[in-house]
A and B are shown apart, each in its own frame.
Chain A
Amino acid sequence: MGRSDYHSDASPTRLTLHHDRAQIDDAQHRLADSLRQAGYGETACFAVRLAVEEALANAFNHGHADAPDEPVVFSFHVNADRVEIEVEDQGPGYCPDEVPDPTVDENLESLSGRGLVLMRAYMTQVDVIPPGNRVRMVYVAGG
Chain B
Amino acid sequence: MAPAASRLRVEEHQGIVRIEFIDRNILDEANIQQIGDEISEIIDTQPQPKLLISFRNVDHLSSAALGTLITINHKIRGKDGQLRLADIDPQIHEIFVITKLNKLFHIHDNSEHALESFS
Contact = CB atoms under 8 A, between A and B. Distances in A.
B63 A57 contact: yes
Contacts of A102: 99
Interface of B: 27-30, 60, 62-64, 66-67, 70-71, 73-74, 91, 95, 98-101, 103-104
A114 B98 CA distance: 9
A94 B100 CA distance: 24
Interface of A: 21, 43, 46, 49-50, 53-54, 57, 61, 102-103, 105, 108-112, 114-115, 117-118, 121
B70 A109 contact: yes
Given A46-B91, A117-B99, A112 B63 contact: yes
A57 B67 CA distance: 13
Given A111-B70, A111-B71, A118 B99 contact: yes
Contacts of B91: 43, 46
Contact of A108 (B29, B67, B71, B101): B101
Given A111-B71, A112-B63, 4 more contacts: A21-B30, A108-B101, A108-B103, A109-B104
A108 B71 CA distance: 12
Given A54-B63, A112-B63, A121 B98 contact: yes
A109 B99 contact: no
